[in-house]
Structure 1
Amino acid sequence: MSGFGDTTRRLLRGRRAEAAGRGAEDVAAAALARDGWRVLARRTRTPAGELDLVAERDGLLAFVEVKARPSLTEAAFALGARQRMRLVAAAEWWVAANPGHGEAGMRFDVVIVAADGTVRRIADAFRIGD
């Protein structure tokens, strides 16, 4: 019966992580709005994967990945090469389905949120091919 307890713990841990992720996305969306960005989409699913936030300001389109971790340092290193490739593919799907955005360009930002509520945005965090 230990498998049942393991499954329950894993399920609860997953729910806590999802709730923390949604909270971090709310914080990130509010920070973007304060900086003059218009959030166009949240938690958008594409055939290539999910985009946390899509925002635009003055024609510049940003695909924003949100990372919540105990510290800013841990959050800053939480985006690996495989996930970057998935984000690029998801962004391509989003742009194809939503023409007319990004006239001034497109970029990938990362917003990192620490457990103490500290928020930092890494603008243009990576580029296609990095």
Structure 2
Amino acid sequence: MQKPTKTQLKQSVARRGERSYRIGLSAEAQAETLLTSEGWEILLRRARTARGEIDLVISREGKLAFVEVKARASLAVAAMSVTSRQQARIMGAAEALLASHPHWRYEEISFDVIVIDGHGRAAHIHDAFRLQ
């Protein structure tokens, strides 16, 4: 068996990256459908800040939530894939977004996770993590 060339390896990595990107977009679209069916309003999608990106920012009845979307083979694996480092990044990005959107009105803030498995099943984990 012949060893792959550097070009072949780069192409393989690029294909995997493109596939992951498409899966992420599809998962975020599915998450939006779930959230709107639950009565949430989508305020921002893929909100980028100097401190990181947040997949979705949503609002409902005085609640503001920053949402991370994870698609994996199972719901449990997806839920466990939000690392403490990612949580810190999301909280930092949320801080930046709150500072740049003083007009947002809320009584409560949460950090939620939408998990999607390989069969397209989705679950909304409310208040998945908190500021320490």
- The count of corresponding residues between Structure 1 and Structure 2 is 129
Q: Verify the 8 A CA contact 1:48 1:93 in the aligned structure 2.
A: yes
Aligned residue type for 2:60: R
- Determine the C-alpha separation between the residues in 2 that align with 1:30 and 1:104: 24
SS of 2:120's partner is: coil
Give the CA deviation at 1:102.
Answer: 4.3
Map 1:4-19 to 2 at 5 A: 4-19=7-22
Give the CA deviation at 1:101.
Answer: 2.0
Q: Verify the 8 A CA contact 1:59 1:101 in the aligned structure 2.
A: no
1:80 counterpart = 2:83: yes
Map 1:12-91 to 2 at 5 A: 12-91=15-94
**CA offset digits 1:55-88 (Å, max 9, x no partner):** 0001200000000001111101000110000000
TM-score after normalising by structure 2: 0.95
- Large movers: runs of 4+ above 3 Å: none
- Determine the C-alpha separation between the residues in 2 that align with 1:102 and 1:60: 8
Larger radius of gyration: 2
1:92 counterpart = 2:91: no
Q: CA RMSD for the aligned pairs?
A: 0.9
Aligned residue type for 2:16: R
**CA offset digits 1:82-116 (Å, max 9, x no partner):** 00000000000111111132421111000000010
TM-score after normalising by structure 1: 0.96
2:113 aligned to which of 110, 115, 118: 110
